[in-house]
Homo-oligomer: A and B are copies of this chain.
Amino acid sequence: MSFPYQFSASAQAMRPSPIRELFKLIQRPGMISFAGGLPDPAIFPTREFAQCAPVLGDKGTVALQYGATEGYAPLVDLLRERMEKPLGRPIRPEEVIISSGSQQVMDMLSRVLIDPGDVIITEAPTYPGALHTFRNQGARFAVVPCDASGMIVDKLPEVIDRCRKETGKLPKLIYSIVNFSNPSGACLAAARRPLLAQIASAHGVPVLEDDPYGELRYHGEAAPTVFSSGSGGVLFASSFSKILAPGVRVAWAVGDPELIRKMAISKQGMDLCTSVVAQVLVAEYCRRGFLDAHLERIRAHYKAKADAMSEALRRRLPEGAAQWADPEGGFFFWVELAKGNARDLFQRAVDAGVAFLPGDTCYPSRDETVGEPVDGSRFARLCFTFAQPAEIDEGARRLAEALG
């Protein structure tokens, strides 16, 4: 018999991440998975990373000791230097915090901003893991629909107003994945970026500009960060997960020193500090100049995979059965079915030996949404980075089979 735990309200409301549940269904030999948002382990810089290990000997007394909650100072300095250009100005140390993955940036923000019932504005669709973190802290959601140019920022003022009317409070945060969004692959158009910053600032709602994929551009031109066009209130976050490797669990955020300080106090109660061993290895990896060389390699590697998926989908899927825009970077194709819904297709696809992420996981549910929910049931997220090129074509063939 289990112990009669009296779980907290949030724990009672906690749902296992839908992704986690779905992934149990696809652990089967021969399954081709476009489902997870995983980097390709074949491109991990294993050799270069392992070459950095002597730093664990040389800097052992630092690497093995407790570290500053805000992060390992040499890594903070490397990031300040690296961020100066995209963020448009020099960054002070007190504007930076290093976190245990950018999931923790969301978690720190949740704790610092959200009281149960508070509203977070997300794009629809958005990253399911963000919904999970915000939900665990008791957040509700208001959504701004997206098009091929990302969040339809023009609709933001009415979403904010409606939220204020219905809850009596401002929303606590606007969450946007600005480049090659997970799941949609879209980039927020350059013209919308200053507008987002301006609307957020005018209404007094802070922005989390989440940018794990920005450096993975395979075509086209980058737009300036929202942070660089803003007048404060934008927290910029990025991560080593997609540009180096997720297993290090090292990410960072840059923003208002008062917010960063609160986040640090919160983080101190979470894990005291991010693994110093991991931070020292990542700093050494960057210091040796491996990161920029590796970025060249992964851009070429993933561009080929994106091209392979584009080709495979075009060639394999029945005419008129689905539509999508080829992404210019990142990890994902976001495919809209002409009919039916992606959950039903998921079942048939898994039977046919291919998996993807049903789009509905990327939207808050109706009961946790303030205002109009957006229905994403006809979308499917296909990750092209993890599967091998031959699998991409065969996976598309199986998907076509499931589409009937």
Using CB atoms and an 8 Å cutoff, list the residues of chain A in contact with chain B: 1-11, 14-17, 20, 36, 38-39, 41-42, 44, 46-47, 49-50, 53-54, 56-57, 60-67, 69, 99-101, 103-104, 106-107, 111-115, 118, 129, 132-133, 135-137, 169-170, 172, 201, 204, 206, 232-233, 241, 244-250, 256-259, 262, 265-266, 268-278, 280-281
Given contacts A5-B112, A248-B277, 4 further A-B contacts (CB under 8 A): A3-B259, A10-B115, A41-B60, A41-B65
Q: Which residue of B lies closest to A249 (CB)?
A: B275
CB contacts (< 8 Å) of A281 on chain B: these are 277
| A62 to B46 Cα, complex, angstroms | 10
Q: Which residues of B contact A2 (CB under 8 A)?
A: 232, 256-258
Complex CA gap A30/B201 in Å reads 47
Interface centre among A10, A67, A206, A233 (most CB of B within 10 A): A10
Contact across chains for A112 and B8 when beta carbons are under 8 A apart: yes
Q: Which of B60, B241, B273 touches A50 (beta carbons < 8 Å)?
A: B60
Q: Chain B's nearest CB lies how many Å from the CB of A42?
A: 8
Find A269's partner among B60, B107, B247, B265 (CB 8 Å cutoff).
Answer: B107
Assembled-state Cα–Cα distance A270/B105 (Å)? 9
Measured between beta carbons, the chain B residues less than 8 angstroms from A245 are 64-65, 277
A114-B8, A266-B14 known; A247+B275 contact, CB < 8 A: yes
Return A133 CB to nearest CB of chain B, in Å.
Answer: 4
A256 CA to B1 CA in the complex, in Å?
10
* A113 lies within 8 A of B50 (CB): no
A64 to B247, CA, bound (A): 4
Assuming the contacts A5-B258, A11-B262, A259-B5, asked whether A103 and B49 have C-beta atoms less than 8 A apart, the reply is no
Taken together as a complex, chains A and B put the C-alpha atoms of A62 and B274 apart, in Å, by 20
State A115–B56 Cα separation when bound (angstroms): 41
Instruction: Give chain B residues whose Cβ lies under 8 Å from the Cβ of A67.
Output: 247
How many monomers of this protein are in the complex? 2
Let me know if A265 and B56 touch, CB within 8 A: no
Q: Are A3 and B247 in contact (CB under 8 A)?
A: no
Complex alpha-carbon distance, A281 and B16, angstroms: 29
A7 to B114, CA, bound (A): 7
Decide: B273 and A132 in contact? CB cutoff 8 A: no
10 contacts between A and B (CB under 8 A): A5-B259, A6-B113, A6-B170, A8-B111, A9-B115, A41-B60, A50-B56, A100-B249, A246-B276, A248-B277
Given A50-B53, A259-B3, A281-B277: A107 in contact with B11 (beta carbons within 8 A):
no
Max chain B CB contacts within 10 Å: which of A2, A16, A47, A278?
A278
Q: Are B249 and A274 in contact (CB under 8 A)?
A: yes
| Identity of the chain B residue whose Cβ is nearest the Cβ of A257 in the assembled complex | B2
Residues of B within 8 A of A36 (CB): 66
Query: Contact between B5 and A206 (Cβ–Cβ < 8 Å)?
Result: yes
